[in-house]
């Protein structure tokens, strides 16, 4: 399977099954799809003759022949027209041993902000306000250790609502987790997501000591942030949190954190918000599209796609320019590993929700992930009894790119891994579908990410030539 496109002056060819990326000239770019179609049932000589016939007049014969030889060489190297060797890997995902690697602890079903797009409905998750007790949290960590098999590294996210509203329990659970590491040969990586309202020096010191990552919620420009992330009485939160976030980012030496924003229909020009965050000094940035029902006035719509796709192109070019000026930032959705990346299982099955990754409510119920919390149809068990609804777990085991018709022939399948199961369910009623608008945005982000890689390789080549 081949995907090719033009972006920012580059002719880019992605061989989907091998993962190889090629930046090519116009002749090779035009020849590749011709050869791909014919190679299925024609000899190489017949393919060559057909390429010469179809491209004659547009390019010189010698250039076409040279391009053909380049393409065939890449084919022989397994970097072009590679077969799909992965579908048979999915022989039966239900037979995989289930090892829990990560928990999302809903430490607080309460919040001191009233974000308009919050799926948790001001922290309550369609239910009651509640704070997780230390006892429930201990049981959750015990459950994780017990069900993690031989895996050493375990992930625990402190989530909400707003986790800092239950700060003492966060600290106590970190201490308890550390006490389990040596006797059980485990290593906990803790993460905390916060809106920043309650951040202070003491909390920052603890976060820097114990948290492998910290997620800081901010949407961008003051007018955009305050519109969507106000306090319950309506006043904005931007002025309060920005200095705190800046201080925390600097105290972590601009590593192991990211500021995370959400863009909506109110800021289709979201590249301005990304660049605003960069100008504030943040070097680790994620600004993501809102996922909302079409009835919400801030929801992204299909008619917005042309603007949004153009905006990603604009952002990619702007971030490249910043990089050239020595002011580069890491934009989460443009970070892509073309050489290593996730293992095959991850590329095929995604985040592991419902199997490797679970969410825990303040009272100890287990759900496939935080977005399913409150939907009783997906209640999988609890921290006392473990997984009691193994049928739900088995259903999530089958969630992979070959189980989704929309994914099977999509060039992005090994990068997005089939997308978000919760989004699929919320828009289509089952987990083995895809959120269509989200798919289009994801594909554009992948294209931009690859283009940036190509441009940076060019830049490195130019710098090497200058040094010589």
83 by DSSP, 3-state: which?
Answer: coil
Phi and psi, residue 201, nearest 5°: -60, -40
**Exposed, middle or buried: residue 10 (CB in 10 Å: 0-12, 13-18, 19+)?**
middle
pTM recorded for the entire structure = 0.92
pLDDT of residue 39: 85
Are residues 126 and 374 in contact, defined by beta-carbon separation less than 8 angstroms?
Answer: yes
pLDDT of residue 150: 95
Angle, alpha carbons 291-110-217 (nearest 5°):
50
Q: Which residues pair with 194 in a beta bridge?
A: 216
**Exposed, middle or buried: residue 1 (CB in 10 Å: 0-12, 13-18, 19+)?**
middle
Sort strands 2-7 and 10-15 into parallel, antiparallel or unpaired: antiparallel
Sort strands 153-159 and 187-194 into parallel, antiparallel or unpaired: parallel
The one-digit pLDDT tens for each residue of the chain (468 residues) are: 899 999 999 999 999 998 899 999 999 999 999 999 888 888 888 999 999 999 999 999 999 999 999 999 999 999 999 988 877 666 555 566 789 999 999 999 999 999 888 865 655 556 678 999 999 999 999 999 999 999 999 999 999 989 999 999 999 999 999 999 999 999 999 999 999 999 999 999 999 999 999 999 999 999 999 999 999 889 999 999 999 999 999 999 999 999 999 999 999 999 999 999 999 999 999 999 999 888 899 999 999 999 999 999 999 999 999 998 999 999 999 988 777 666 666 667 677 888 899 999 999 999 999 989 988 999 999 999 999 999 999 888 888 788 788 888 888 888 887 788 888 888 888 888 888 899 999 999 999 999 999 998 887 766 655 555
pLDDT of residue 43: 87
pLDDT of residue 155: 97
- Contacts of residue 364, Cβ cutoff 8 Å, sequence gap at least 6: 136, 139, 140, 382, 383, 384
Angle, alpha carbons 196-198-201 (nearest 5°):
90
456-463 long-range CB contacts below 8 Å, 24 or more apart?
A: 456/320, 456/323, 457/23, 459/323, 459/324
pLDDT of residue 415: 86
């Amino acid at each position: 399977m081949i995907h090719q496109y033009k972006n920012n002056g580059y002719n880019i060819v992605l061989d989907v099954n091998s993962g190889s990326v090629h930046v090519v000239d116009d002749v090779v770019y035009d020849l590749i799809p011709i050869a791909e179609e014919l190679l299925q049932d024609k000899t190489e000589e017949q393919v060559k003759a057909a390429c010469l016939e179809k491209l004659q007049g547009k390019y010189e014969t010698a250039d076409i022949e040279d391009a053909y030889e380049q393409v065939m060489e890449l084919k022989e190297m397994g970097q072009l027209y590679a077969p799909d060797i992965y579908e048979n890997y999915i022989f039966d995902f239900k037979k995989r041993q289930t090892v829990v690697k990560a928990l999302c602890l809903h430490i607080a079903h309460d919040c001191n902000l009233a974000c308009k797009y919050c799926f948790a409905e001001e922290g309550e998750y369609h239910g009651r306000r509640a704070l997780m007790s230390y006892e429930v949290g201990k049981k959750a960590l015990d459950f994780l250790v017990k069900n993690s098999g031989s895996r050493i590294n375990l992930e625990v996210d402190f989530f909400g609502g707003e986790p800092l509203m239950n700060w003492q329990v966060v600290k106590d659970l970190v201490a308890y987790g550390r006490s389990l590491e040596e006797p059980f040969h485990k290593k906990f990586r803790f993460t905390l997501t916060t809106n920043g309202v309650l951040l202070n020096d003491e909390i920052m010191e603890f976060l820097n000591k114990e948290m492998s990552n910290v997620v800081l919620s901010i949407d961008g420009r003051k007018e955009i942030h305050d519109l969507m992330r106000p306090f319950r009485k309506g006043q904005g939160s931007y002025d309060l949190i920005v200095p705190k976030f800046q201080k925390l980012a600097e105290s972590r030496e601009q590593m192991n954190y990211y500021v995370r924003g959400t863009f909506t229909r109110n800021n289709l020009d979201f590249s301005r918000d990304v660049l605003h965050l960069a100008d504030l000094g943040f070097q680790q940035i994620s600004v993501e599209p809102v996922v909302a029902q079409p009835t919400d006035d801030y929801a992204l719509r299909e008619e917005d796609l042309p603007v949004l796709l153009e905006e990603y192109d604009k952002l990619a070019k702007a971030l490249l320019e910043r990089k050239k000026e020595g002011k580069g930032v890491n934009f989460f959705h443009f970070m892509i590993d073309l050489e290593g990346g996730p293992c095959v299982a991850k590329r095929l099955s995604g985040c592991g929700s419902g199997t490797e990754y679970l969410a825990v409510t303040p009272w100890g119920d287990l759900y496939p992930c935080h977005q399913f919390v409150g939907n009783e149809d997906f209640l999988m068990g609890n921290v006392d009894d473990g997984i009691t609804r193994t049928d739900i777990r088995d259903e999530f085991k089958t969630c992979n790119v070959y189980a989704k018709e929309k994914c099977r022939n999509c060039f992005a399948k090994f990068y997005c891994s089939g997308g978000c199961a919760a989004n699929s369910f919320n828009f289509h009623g089952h987990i083995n579908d895809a959120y269509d608008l989200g798919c289009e945005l994801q594909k554009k982000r992948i294209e931009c990410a690859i283009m940036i890689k190509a441009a940076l390789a060019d830049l490195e080549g130019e710098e090497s030539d200058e040094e010589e």
